Structure 1
Amino acid sequence: MTETSNKQIKTAAIISYISIVFNIITGLIYTPWMVNSIGKSDYGLYVLVSSFLIYFTIDFGLGQAIARFLAKYRAENNEQKVNQLLSITTKIYLLISLIMLIALVVVFFFLQNIFLQLNSAEIEKFKTIYVIAGLFSLVSFPFMSLNGVFIAFERFVVLKLCDIFSKIGVILFMVIALLLGYKLYAIIAINAFIGIIVILFKLIYLFKTTAIKIDLKYKSKALTKELFGFSAWTSVLGIAQRLIINIAPTLLGIYSGTTAIAVFSIGMLIESYVWTFASALNGLFLPKVSGLLSTSENREQVLQLMVKVGRIQLFIIGILYIGMITLGQEFIVLWMGPKFANSYPIVLMLIFPGFFTLTQEIASTLLYVENKIKFKAIIFMVAAIMSILLSVFLIPYFGALGAAMGIVISLLIFEVIIINIFYQKIMKINIIYFFKACLLKMAPSLAIALGFGFAVNYYIPATNFVVFFIKASIIALVYIVVMWFFSLNKYEKELILSIYKKFTPNKLS
């Protein structure tokens, strides 16, 4: 890994977290205002169309396959293979888009038969936003591999800057549209418009700064077979992962209604913030792990990298978990109002498995590098089936809470317990050592900060955001102090100080 590459990773990580902080802050301010502007029912429809169309835009594992093969070819300095791979995948994406178009048209005529809990007015609105969002899905689908190309070419900084531009653009235009009196339809259209602008920029950037050339006439049965051999199980894994959580709004639309969707979506939104914060580093280490394995089959190096990254991620998400557990219900009521208080237990259930899984990015990356994702795909598919069955059974009795219960039970059994057995036994990763070096060593500090958080929340109830943020700041400060003195090692402290210095100008200069 070159010094330039390491610098790219550090800079991209910093930009990622800036983007995430911006996204969370604007989301906290914007989301309740948007819900009040368009209404709880329309917000439920907005979430429903987003989650429903996800299943028509699955890239069948091609994105991960492209990132993996491109990283491999670039490590071998084989630029010809890079262009050949992208030529083939472009044609595959275009073919899938045609199939998607047919599927979307057919489904359109059966929407009223699928979502029986929606009234006639909601169905009419849903059909309109379905068409808008569906057209964008068709246009954007052939370019889903762009992020994988950016990662393989180690253009992390530009990729993360595109994410920031996208978020700023969407929020800015949505605010303007809502202030002008436009409602649900404008929100969907703005998302599509900004998405297309970002795609165009990425295409122009890659063609101008790399030697990529797409030849739609190029054919290779061997490369196509190799690509699908890898992507087949990646596809199964991708579908399963989406079925576990993202299908919940669809199930709620079928068995409950838009109100339950809205309540669940707040829990899903907060869970996505936690996941995004923890996974900001994801993908940045694919070239590095590929490089380690191309030079040596040394599992010890991979394990040490896994511990190093895992501890950093645990330090980052630790404060989010502690804050959400101790202050979550109070925050949701202040943020969205008492009508969304039931979102709190949903949040806790959705984020709980991630406490274990979000720190294991390197192990997940290793699966793709070594093309050993078949077993993980099977695990997640069984988990998805179990989650759906449990949710279908529980939703009629518990609504949105029932959906969350089905999800957390499945994830704990399969994504936490069984997958770690797989890492230990099949992948030969010393997962027991990882948990000792990462979770166990940091657990006492996390427990102290958690206990302090409960005490602060009990003795200082917050009736407004000023008091709430004071409480949150106190808990965060204590968390950092406790972690600094009792858990962080020399490398982690130096890393934090280097980031601090990067954003603090030298006053003596």
Structure 2
Amino acid sequence: VSDYGLYVLVTSFLTYFIMDFGLGDAVARFISKYRIENDEQKINQILGLTSKIYLYINLCIFTALVVFFFLLDNIFKELNDVEIEKFKSIYIIAGLFSLLSFPFSSLNGVVIAFERFVFLKLCDFINKCLTIVLMVIALYFGYKLYSLVFINALVGIFIIIIKLFYLRKHTNINVDFKFKSKELKKQIFGFSAWVTIIGIAQRLLINISPTLLAIYSGTTAISIFSIGIIIEGYVWTFAGALNGMFLPRVTALNSESNDKSKVTELMIKVGRIQLFVVGLLVIGIIIFGKEFIVLWMGEKFKESYLVVILLVIPGLVPITQNIASTLMYVENKLKYTALIYICSSIVSIISSIFLIPKFGALGAALGISLGISIFQVVVMNIIYQKVMKINVVYFLKSSFVKMLPLFLIVIGIGLAMNYYIKTSDFFTLFVKAFIIGIVYLALMFGFGLKKEEKDLFASVITKRFN
């Protein structure tokens, strides 16, 4: 438990330093724009310009990591002598990998701009699966903390190499490192400044929690919290499968017309599909989450279930509004998003500081949930409605109002099943989950989905079988 707490603490601590300051998003936005204009020269120029900026930032990150290495004893006073020595060792391993991988941070933005979405999601999938397989092998043969950190680094480098080879083979990119332009640099930083603020605020929202837990509680609370974060992360990995895919489409719509009704319609179409997918995942967590965590990690991690619930439920609305958030990027109105994330993080941190000493991991989750609910759900939708002129009320009626009653019915059936059928092993759990999955699909296809949505899923299944 202590070692795992250290593993999570190092990962979260390094994220304060390893950020691309919005350059990845800037690359995706500008390349999408230049592809619409069919200007390959500008694509090569912006990649050359941003590559040099990445190297300068990497040097600054290296300096910061070295300085903070000598301050670790003073920052994490709750850690004992053995824990602090382990922390320093994995800090060095993870820090070196971060410095090696950082200059390639824009690769995802390039892949998104060229609309190679299947490849990108396949890379994410391989990354997750390969990491898990290698970790299981390492743990089985008795390797522990250091091997897990090394495996993460090794798989990360492997995925970077795959992306580089793919882009070299399937695109005409020829990076122009000699290109210089103060005007373009000004445009990039004008866009990326707000993305940077959003990135910092996002890190302060969740990634600072292990640090606060280390200061006010200890490594056990970090482990309990991190189990919740792992499950929450996998939920949004699946739920966010469509994220980024519509940047070129929204950019084109915005270039063609200022009519926001088309954006609203696209938002409803994508949002309903995302809600259909994430609805099944969230319902599964609500019904079976506690049983799964107890079977997986043991009774002492039972509190992680409430951590997952508090982190997942508030994110249900934002994850289905990817089109609206993408429009904010396209129209360069990120100052609103940045201010909302800042306020969300401030509320989360302040409330967590008061709640953690008494409630531990649950206090951290409560603080985050409060910040997300107030600002990223309520205030953000007001911005979408008033500033972006998106018909949010119509969106909520077309998606959540129509699907939520069916969600509640499935949850009711699932909780009743849990009451009468106790779970003692994974087989029973999976059988119950399979039954609930069938009930969910039957209700959604019978009453929840529109005809065109049913046709869409049917066509995908038919193609796969063919």
- Establish whether TM, by shorter chain, passes 0.5: yes
CA offsets per residue over residues 258-277 of structure 1, 9 Å max, x none?
Answer: 10000000111111111111
Q: How many angstroms does 1:366 deviate by? A: 0.6
- Aligned position for 1:30: none
Q: How many angstroms does 1:500 deviate by? A: 1.9
1:42 maps to 2:3: yes
**RMSD, aligned CA:** 1.2
Note if contact 2:402-2:448 (Cα within 8 Å) is conserved in structure 1.
yes
Match of 2:50 among 85, 89, 95: 89
Question: Aligned with 1:502: secondary structure?
Answer: helix
Q: How many angstroms does 1:123 deviate by? A: 0.4
Q: How many angstroms does 1:155 deviate by? A: 1.6
Q: How many angstroms does 1:285 deviate by? A: 0.7
1:165 maps to 2:110: no
Question: Aligned with 1:477: secondary structure?
Answer: helix
Match of 1:175 among 136, 152, 160: 136
CA offsets per residue over residues 154-175 of structure 1, 9 Å max, x none?
Answer: 1222222222332333233323
Equivalents in 2 of 1:165, 1:412: separation in Å?
33
- Aligned position for 2:378: 417
- Aligned position for 2:274: 313
Question: Aligned with 1:353: secondary structure?
Answer: helix
Q: How many angstroms does 1:198 deviate by? A: 1.6
Q: For residue 449 of structure 1, what is the amino acid of its counterpart?
A: V
Q: How many angstroms does 1:457 deviate by? A: 1.4
Match of 2:340 among 379, 385, 392: 379
Q: How many angstroms does 1:498 deviate by? A: 1.6
Q: How many angstroms does 1:296 deviate by? A: 1.5
- Aligned position for 1:407: 368
Match of 1:455 among 416, 433, 455: 416
* Deviates most, 436-445 or 122-131: 436-445
List aligned pairs for 1:350-389, cutoff 5 A: 350-389=311-350
- Aligned position for 1:344: 305
Match of 2:33 among 72, 85, 91: 72
Q: For residue 427 of structure 1, what is the amino acid of its counterpart?
A: M
1:397 maps to 2:382: no
Equivalents in 2 of 1:200, 1:473: separation in Å?
38
Q: How many residues align?
A: 466
List aligned pairs for 1:246-257, cutoff 5 A: 246-257=207-218
Query: TM-score when scaled to structure 1?
Result: 0.90
Q: How many angstroms does 1:443 deviate by? A: 1.8
* Deviates most, 478-487 or 431-440: 478-487
Q: For residue 268 of structure 1, what is the amino acid of its counterpart?
A: I
Q: For residue 371 of structure 2, what is the amino acid of its counterpart?
A: S
- Aligned position for 1:298: 259
- Aligned position for 1:120: 81
1:278 maps to 2:239: yes
CA offsets per residue over residues 294-325 of structure 1, 9 Å max, x none?
Answer: 11222111111100011111111111111211
CA offsets per residue over residues 55-99 of structure 1, 9 Å max, x none?
Answer: 111111111111011100101101111111111100110000000
Query: TM-score when scaled to structure 2?
Result: 0.98
Q: For residue 152 of structure 2, what is the amino acid of its counterpart?
A: N
Equivalents in 1 of 2:376, 2:413: separation in Å?
30
Question: Aligned with 1:56: secondary structure?
Answer: coil
Q: How many angstroms does 1:214 deviate by? A: 2.2
1:498 maps to 2:421: no
Equivalents in 1 of 2:328, 2:84: separation in Å?
42
Q: For residue 305 of structure 2, what is the amino acid of its counterpart?
A: Y
Equivalents in 2 of 1:192, 1:335: separation in Å?
25
- Aligned position for 2:192: 231
Equivalents in 2 of 1:266, 1:432: separation in Å?
35
Question: Aligned with 1:458: secondary structure?
Answer: helix
Q: How many angstroms does 1:114 deviate by? A: 0.8
1:100 maps to 2:61: yes
Match of 1:150 among 111, 130, 146: 111
Q: Gapped runs of 5+ residues in structure 2? A: none
Q: How many angstroms does 1:201 deviate by? A: 2.2
Q: For residue 32 of structure 2, what is the amino acid of its counterpart?
A: A
Q: How many angstroms does 1:503 deviate by? A: 2.9
List aligned pairs for 1:249-268, cutoff 5 A: 249-268=210-229
Q: How many angstroms does 1:102 deviate by? A: 0.3
Decide whether aligned partners of structure 1 residues 172 and 334 sit closer, same or farther in structure 2, where only a CA change above 3 A counts.
closer
Equivalents in 1 of 2:279, 2:117: separation in Å?
25
- Aligned position for 2:449: 488
Equivalents in 2 of 1:339, 1:190: separation in Å?
27
- Aligned position for 1:471: 432
- Aligned position for 1:18: none
Note if contact 2:121-2:241 (Cα within 8 Å) is conserved in structure 1.
no
Equivalents in 2 of 1:275, 1:177: separation in Å?
27
Q: For residue 155 of structure 2, what is the amino acid of its counterpart?
A: I
Q: How many angstroms does 1:220 deviate by? A: 0.3
Q: How many angstroms does 1:50 deviate by? A: 0.8
Question: Aligned with 1:117: secondary structure?
Answer: coil
Equivalents in 1 of 2:385, 2:27: separation in Å?
27
- Aligned position for 2:288: 327
- Aligned position for 1:197: 158
Question: Aligned with 1:55: secondary structure?
Answer: coil
Note if contact 2:112-2:244 (Cα within 8 Å) is conserved in structure 1.
yes
Q: How many angstroms does 1:42 deviate by? A: 0.7
Q: How many angstroms does 1:476 deviate by? A: 1.2
- Aligned position for 1:26: none
Q: For residue 179 of structure 1, what is the amino acid of its counterpart?
A: Y
Q: For residue 352 of structure 2, what is the amino acid of its counterpart?
A: S
Decide whether aligned partners of structure 1 residues 209 and 322 sit closer, same or farther in structure 2, where only a CA change above 3 A counts.
closer
Q: For residue 463 of structure 1, what is the amino acid of its counterpart?
A: S
Note if contact 2:315-2:372 (Cα within 8 Å) is conserved in structure 1.
no
Note if contact 2:10-2:87 (Cα within 8 Å) is conserved in structure 1.
yes
Equivalents in 2 of 1:212, 1:253: separation in Å?
45
Equivalents in 2 of 1:479, 1:197: separation in Å?
38
CA offsets per residue over residues 150-207 of structure 1, 9 Å max, x none?
Answer: 0101122222222233233323332332233221111111111121122122222222
Q: How many angstroms does 1:43 deviate by? A: 0.8
Question: Aligned with 2:174: secondary structure?
Answer: coil
Question: Aligned with 1:427: secondary structure?
Answer: coil
Note if contact 2:32-2:113 (Cα within 8 Å) is conserved in structure 1.
yes
Question: Aligned with 1:352: secondary structure?
Answer: helix
1:434 maps to 2:395: yes
